[in-house]
Structure 1
Amino acid sequence: MISVLFAVLTALSNGTASVLQRRAALDVPHSAAMRLSLIGHLLRQKVWLAGIGLVIVAAVCQAVALATGPIAVVQPIFVIELPAALVVAGFVMRVGVTRQVWYGVAAVTAGLALGMAAAAPVGGSEDVEGTAWIPALVATGAFEAALIAAALGTRGNARAALLGLAAACGYALTAALMKDAMSRLDADGVVGLMTAWQLYATAAAGVGALFLLQNALQAGSLVAVQPMLTLGDALISVTYGVTLFGEELRTGWWLLPQLIGVALVTVGCVVLARTPLATAQPAPSRVR
């Protein structure tokens, strides 16, 4: 299935990008938090630019995945981005992959498989009726504003978690807008895509989500950010898939294994984010 393949490639690219961006964020002074100067600091770091390059690769793969499959199938697959990145990093850097990592990988993989099998997303349209976007955008804006306001009232890992969830919401919105934009390409060709407001809204939402993620990574540890980012993106994307695209999930007693799957993914993400590969605080990079 093409959509699954490209979703996996997206997860791998995004997971590696998160690690590179976290490394770069460690060099940014705390005084730059929630300021545009944060991006200025990051732009001078090659490791951050490499991360952005992988984000672009991920965006292309994600567009292909969303154009060929339901959003409720594609987005949840992204929960594998953290385990994939840690395993690859362990082999590339020749650092032993501990049992803790493998336990986390097993929990995330089993949780994803169980949740997807129980939910069995099907159906749905390729595009969204124009007026349906209005309540969705209003609700998303209100949710984002509440999360950011709460984050500004705290600090440390609490702020990181709230901003991580805000970034997740932004990335989920980006995926929904991207899928709707890609449907214009299928229906009306390149001209239809280039004249669709969803294309430009995708770019705006993506930049906003990236800004929130950089602040989340700068505010606290990966263990606070990654579970909120990973699970938030998956669950909010499923919500968009059901409400905007009319995709259907199994309900009734099937909700129980779905919740168990979510719990396994949550535990796996926390375990992985606490491993040395994820929590290591490298010395400030001198590569600029």
Structure 2
Amino acid sequence: MHRSDIATLFALGAALMIAVGDVIQQRSAHDVTDEPVGTVALFLQLLRDKQWWLGSLVAAGGFGLQAAALAFGSVLLVQALIVTSLLFALPLSARFAGRRITRYQWMWAVLLAIAVAVIVTVGDPSKGQSRAGLQTWTWVIATLGPFLLLCLLGARLYKGKPVAAVLLGVVAGSLWGLFAVLMKGVVDQLDNGIWAVLKLPELYPWAAVAVVATAVQQASFRAGSMAASLPAVTVSEPLVASVLGVAILGEMLRPGRSGWAFLVVAVVVMIAATVELARTEAAPAPEGAPTSSG
């Protein structure tokens, strides 16, 4: 079996487990308290919630499969496939909410699956290097850091409004994208033994980013409707990871001259489908909407 095929299988497994973990965590973030709480206070309360820990353990299993996928494939390939977590989250979320999936949702689900297939096959992502130098990471911090701080400031200024959930979702998704790129460097050193991993400069920022991303994501779930936060998280993660994969790891898409048009259309469709699926997944189905038994 080709390495990219192995990466694909691991990435799809990761998408499934991450979807299950996210659905459980989303419910916990809303159910853990009825009082208005900040990001840190919410996170501390969730640390005492058994249901949230169940979701976290399932999601952690997904991150393990994601790491395995990154050992065999590029960040571009793996993150494109991780987006399919929405296809798994859709029926799970509907089942938990006691509702059925609409034909409109199935339409966008099919379009998302087709778009991801086009990106993976036509785009033919190439594997670059696994790590970047300190100078490159300094550039990433200098550009991404201020952007994330502005989003956090905006979320505080617009507290209580839907835009706060969107901004916090963008921060969480961006951090998960950064997490995926840092994970690539950590996974690359596993064959050299635990001591080599412990000495790895990327290890500790990778762990810190995971904790912060988790806390901010839960805050985004609490800040407003899931229809506001979930699309922001789901779209920003692969976009940031892909940009960093190209910019600092030297990965490339190789669609050929005739394939670029298909690739651009596929990316636009993927983003649109992700937003629509996340939005409709979070919102109850309109009364009288046509449904499918799924």
Deviation at 1:152, TM superposition (A): 1.4
From 195, 199, 221, the counterpart of 1:195 = 199
Residues in 2 aligned to 1:38 and 1:143: alpha-carbon distance in whole angstroms: 24
Matched residue pairs, number?
A: 278
Unaligned runs of 5+ in 2: 286-294
Offset at residue 91 of structure 1 (A): 6.4
Alignment correspondent of 1:285: none
Displacement of 1:48? 1.2
- 1:145 partnered with 2:149: yes
Give matches, 1:223-234, under 5 Å. 223-234=227-238
What is the rounded CA distance, in whole Å, between the counterparts of 1:220 and 1:262 in structure 2? Answer: 27
Which residue is equivalent to 2:21? 17
Matched residues in 2 for 1:117 and 1:248: separation?
A: 13
Moved more, 96-105 or 249-258: 249-258
CA RMSD of aligned residues (A): 2.3
After alignment, is 92-101 or 42-51 more displaced? Answer: 92-101
In structure 2, the CA distance between the partners of 1:51 and 1:278, relative to structure 1 (3 Å rule), is same
Q: Which residue in 1 is equivalent to 2:49?
A: 45
Aligned residue for 1:59? Answer: 63
| Alignment partners' CA distance in 1, 2:35 and 2:96 | 31
Alignment equivalent of 2:12, drawn from 8, 13, 38: 8
| Residues 104-133 of structure 1: CA deviation (Å, up to 9, x unaligned) | 211211221223334321141133234322
The answer to whether residue 165 in structure 2 is matched with residue 160 in structure 1 is yes
For residues 43-71 of structure 1, give each alpha carbon's deviation from its aligned partner in whole angstroms, at most 9, with x where no partner exists. Answer: 23222111111121112111111111111
The residue that corresponds to 2:267 in the other structure is 262
Distance 2:49 2:101 in 1: 28
3-state SS, counterpart of residue 105 of structure 1 = helix
Moved more, 219-228 or 163-172: 219-228
Q: Deviations over 1:65-96 (max 9, x none)?
A: 11111111111211111121222455688854
Question: Would you identify which runs of 4 or more consecutive aligned residues in structure 1 move more than 4 Å?
Answer: 88-95, 251-255
Cα distance in 1, alignment partners of residues 273 and 218 from structure 2: 23
The answer on 1:204 being equivalent to 2:208 is yes
Q: Are the equivalent residues in 1 in contact too, given 2:18–2:85 (CA < 8 A)?
A: yes
TM-score, normalization by structure 1: 0.87
Indicate the larger mover: 195-204 or 43-52.
43-52
Query: CA, structure 1 residues 31+189, in 2 after alignment: closer, same or farther (shift >3 Å)?
Result: same
Q: Which amino acid aligns with 1:135?
A: W
Contact 1:127 1:245 in 2 (8 A): yes
TM-score normalised by the chain length of structure 2: 0.86
For residues 61 and 225 of structure 2, the distance between their equivalents in structure 1, rounded to whole angstroms, comes to 25
Change (3 A) 1:90 1:152: closer
What is the match of residue 190 of structure 2?
185
The answer to whether residue 115 in structure 2 is matched with residue 108 in structure 1 is no
Q: 1:247 aligns with which of 242, 247, 251?
A: 251
- Give me the identity figure in percent: 29
Q: Does the CA-based 8 Å contact 1:76-1:235 persist in structure 2?
A: no
Deviation at 1:278, TM superposition (A): 3.2
Give the SS at the match of 2:158. Answer: coil
Q: 1:222 to 1:255 in 2, by over 3 A?
A: farther
For 1:92 and 1:228, how far apart are their aligned partners in 2?
A: 22
In the alignment, is the contact (CA less than 8 A) between 1:123 and 1:247 conserved in 2?
A: yes
CA contact (8 A) 1:33 1:218 kept: no
**2:80–2:119 CA contact under 8 A, matched in 1:** no
The equivalent of 1:76 in structure 2 is 80
CA apart distance, 1:99: 1.7
Whether the 8 Å CA contact 1:100–1:272 is kept in 2: the answer is no
Q: Is the 8 A contact 2:230 2:279 kept in 1?
A: no
